[in-house]
Amino acid sequence: MRFAAIIFALLLSAPTMAHQLKASVTTVLFNKRTNNIELMHRFYLHDTEHAVDHLFDGNADILSNKEDQKRFADYVESHIALQTLDGKPLELKEVGAQVDGKFFWVYQEVTIPEGIHGIRMSNGALRDLWPTQVNMVNIEGKGKVKTLTFSQDDTWLEARFESVNPE
C-alpha cells in the first residue's frame, strides 16, 4: 500500500517536473543556395513567457503582441555572436521571429565568408536569467553536423570544419 502511494505521488508530480530543464536549440545552417549562414533559435514558448515576465517587468504578452515578440527577439539577438576562427566578427542580421505551436523562433543570417574553416560562437540567451539554461547549437551544411552545448560558464565555443579534398 505504501509503495502504491509513492508511485501515485510520483505520477502526480511528473507533469510539474517534466519541464524543469531550461533549454533551447539553435540550428546554424550554411545554406549554399542563398550563400548565407542562417541561424534558427528555438525556445519553448513556456520558457519565453517566464523570461519576458522577468525581462519586461511582467507587462509583456509574447503570444499575441508583435512588439513584445520583437523585444524578446532583440534580447535573444543581443546574446548571440558569431566569429571566424581568427576572431573576426560576423555581423548577424535580424530576419524575424514567430510563435509556432509550443515554440518561439528567432531567425538571423549573415553572408558566408569566403574560405571559412570553422566558427566561434557565443550563445548566452536566457543564461543571465537561469544559470542552469542549456543552449544547444547544431551546425549543418559544412560536412558532418557539429554540436556545441553552452552550459555553466561557457561563453565562446568553436566548431572546425573538415577539409574537403576533391577527388
Tens-place pLDDT, residues 90-127? 999 999 999 999 999 999 999 999 999 999 999 999 99
pLDDT band at 2 (very low <50, low <70, confident <90, very high): very low
User: Between β-strands 134-140 and 23-31, what pairing exists: parallel, antiparallel or unpaired?
Assistant: parallel
Say what the pLDDT of residue 80 is.
98
Grid coordinates belonging to 39: 541561424
> Is residue 97 left, alpha or beta, with left meaning phi > 0 and alpha meaning psi from -120 to 50?
beta
Residue 26: other Cβ atoms inside 10 A? 23
pLDDT band at 138 (very low <50, low <70, confident <90, very high): very high
Q: Is the pLDDT of residue 81 over 90?
A: yes
Mean pLDDT of the region 52-74: 92
Q: Name the nearest CA neighbour of 79 among 133, 115, 36.
A: 133
Say what the pLDDT of residue 8 is.
42
SS3 string, the chain, reads CHHHHHHHHHHHHHHHHCCCCCEEEEEEEEECCCCEEEEEEEEEHHHHHHHHHHHCCCCCCCCCCHHHHHHHHHHHHHCEEEEECCCCEECCEEEEEEEECCEEEEEEEEECCCCCCEEEEEECCCCCCCCCCEEEEEEECCCCCEEEEECCCCCCEEEECCCCCCC
Q: How far are the Cα atoms of 83, 135, 141, 144, 157 from residue 30, in angstroms, in the given order?
A: 14, 19, 5, 12, 17
Per-residue pLDDT tens over the stretch 3-62: 433 444 444 444 444 446 799 999 999 999 999 999 999 999 999 999 999 999 878 899
Place of cell 499575441: 64
Say what the pLDDT of residue 95 is.
98
Amino acid at 148: L
